[in-house]
Amino acid sequence: MTAPSLPAATVAGLAKGLNAGEFSSVELTEACLGRIAASQPGLNAFITVTAEAALAEAGAADTRRREGRAGPLTGVPIAHKDIFCTQDVLTTCGSRMLSNFVSPYDATVVAKLREAGTVALGKLNMDEFAMGSSNETSFFGPVRNPWDTTRVPGGSSGGSAAAVAARIAPAATATDTGGSIRQPAALCGVTGIKPTYGRVSRYGMIAFASSLDQAGLITVSAEDAALMLGAMAGFDPRDSTSVDSPVPDYAATLEQPLAGLTIGLVKEFFDKGLDRQCEQRIRDALAVYEKLGARLVEVSCPNLPLSVPTYYVVAPAECSSNLARFDGVRFGHRCESPRNLTDLYNRSRGEGFGAEVKRRIMTGTYVLSAGYYDAYYLKAQRVRQLISRDFAEAFGQVDLLLGPTSPTAAFAIGAKTEDPITMYLNDIYTIGANLAGLPAMSLPCGFADGLPVGLQLIGPHFSEARMLNAAHRYQMETDWHLRVPAAFG
C-alpha cells in the first residue's frame, strides 16, 4: 500500500481510499508530516506539530478499521487552529501570553473530531487571539500565502487556509468572528464555512468576542465540509450559547438540483471598493448558477455598509472583557520579578499582548466606560439589530445571498500593517453574517492576476445544508477548488 498523491486528495477521497484499503492511515499521516516538514520554513503554517501523537492515533485508526469499527472519517489527518484547547498540547492562540500554556482538556470541537476518528497533525498558526485579517499579528511570525509567499494568506485563520491550500493538511478547523474563516479561504483558494451561531460548540475555544465567535472549517471542497461539519456540530450543555437542534446529514443533500433556487445579489456588495477582476469572477460564477437552474434577484441590505464600524465597537468591547483573565496570575506569561501586584498586571499584560490586541482592548474599554457606553456600545448594538433585520427581509425574498468574499485578492505582507483602518476594511463583506449570527461560506471562483478569488454564500439561520448543496453543485461544474499552487503540486 502507498499513500495517495496529497495534492489531488480531498477528505472524501481519502476516506474512500482508506475504506478500500488502498493505503493505511499511518502511511497517509507520514505523507502529511513529510509535507509539513518540507513546507514549514516557507509557509510557517504550523505552531506545533504533534508527529508522535499523530502516528499513534493513525495506528489506532488502522486497528479500528481492521476490527470493523471505523467511521467515515476514521484515519483522516486534519489540523486544528491554535485557538482550540487540545489536551496535553501547547495551545497558544498565536500569542506570547499563552506561549507556555499546555491545555489540560480538549475543546468540544477537538473531542468530537477525535471521536470521529480523525488524526490530529498539530496546531496551526493564527493572528494573535484571532485579531487580524492577514495573519501578521502572530507572535510566531506571519503565515505566507502558498500561491505567492510574498503575500498574506488572510486572517485570522491564515494557518488553516494556507495548510489546506498547500495540501499539507487535508482539512483544518478554524474560527470566524468577522470573516476569519471566509476571508483567508478566499485569499488561499479553498473552501471555508462558518456555521450558524450556536450550531457548533464554543466550549474550549479561546474567546475573542463571544457573541460573534463561531467555530467552523476550511477544506478543499464543499463535500469535505459537509462530512466534517456533521461530525463537529451538535448541542453541548457546556456552552450556554449552543443550540439544542438536530444535526442534519449534510452530505445526504449535496446532489439535489438547484432548479427553483432563488439567489439574491446584495447590491451593497458590488460597490466601488470591489476590485474589477474580482467582480468579473463573481459574475462568471453567476452564469454557472443560472445554467444550473437558479434564479438571480437583486436585493438591498441598506444598513450593511455600517457593519465594519459596528463590529469594531462590539468586538473590542467583548474582547476587553474576555481578555481580562490573562493577567499573569493563574496561567500564561508572567513578567519576571514583579515589584507588586499592579506591576505584575501591567508588565505581564504589556509583555504578553501584541500591538493589535492592545489596540482592541483599549478601544473596547473606552466604549464600555462611563459616559461613552450609550454613545458607542449601545448605539452599535442598535445598528446590529438593523443589519439583522435587513438580512431577514432579504431572506423573505430569496433562499441564499451571493457576493464577493473579499474586495481584493491577497495583498503583500506588510502592505497594510501601518494602517489598521484599511486592514479592517478587508472584512467589509463578511462581518454582517457574524453580526446577524448567519451561516456563510466562501468557495473559490477563479483568479485575479494569478491569485485566488472567493465567492461568498450567506443563508438564513440553520441553512447549512442548502448552502453546502449550492456550493457543491457549483464545484461539480468548475475545478477552481481543485487547483493547487505550483510550488505544492
The yes-or-no answer on residue 358 being catalytic is no
Nine cell digits for residue 391: 438580512
- All three cell numbers of 94, joined, read 498565536
Rounded to whole angstroms, the Cα distance separating 96 from 33 reads 26
282 SS3 class:
helix
Catalytic residue among 156, 201, 221, 320: 156
**Selected catalytic residue, list 25, 81, 406, 416:** 81
> How far is residue 6 CA from its own chain's centroid?
22
Q: How far apart are CA 264 and CA 286, in angstroms?
A: 11
The rounded distance, in Å, linking the Cα atoms of 420 and 358 is: 13
What is d(CA 305, CA 302) in angstroms, rounded to the nearest whole number?
7
Q: Which amino acid is at 125?
A: N
What amino acid is encoded at 176 in this protein? D
Three-state SS at 189? coil
Cβ atoms within 10 Å, residue 315? 27
CB atoms within 10 A of CB 255: 11
d(CA 171, CA 119): 11
- Strands of the sheet containing 451-458, edge to edge, are 46-49, 119-124, 77-81, 171-176, 214-219, 191-194, 440-448, 451-458, 400-404, 262-266, 295-299
Q: Answer whether 440's CB lies under 8 Å from 459's CB.
A: yes
Strand partners, 400: 263
Catalytic residue of the set 95, 134, 180, 320: 180
- Rounded to an integer, what distance in angstroms lies between the CA atom of residue 424 and that of residue 166? 26
Separation between Cα atoms, residue 252 and residue 103, nearest integer Å: 36
Tell me if residue 272 is catalytic: no
**Cell numbers given for 352:** 504578553
- Which helix (H) or strand (E) segment holds residue 171: the answer is strand 171-176
Residue recorded with cell 486497528: 63
- In whole angstroms, give the CA distance from residue 200 to residue 178: 16
174 and 194 Cβ atoms separated by less than 8 Å: no
Q: Mark whether 156 is an active-site residue.
A: yes
Q: Which residues are catalytic?
A: 81, 156, 180
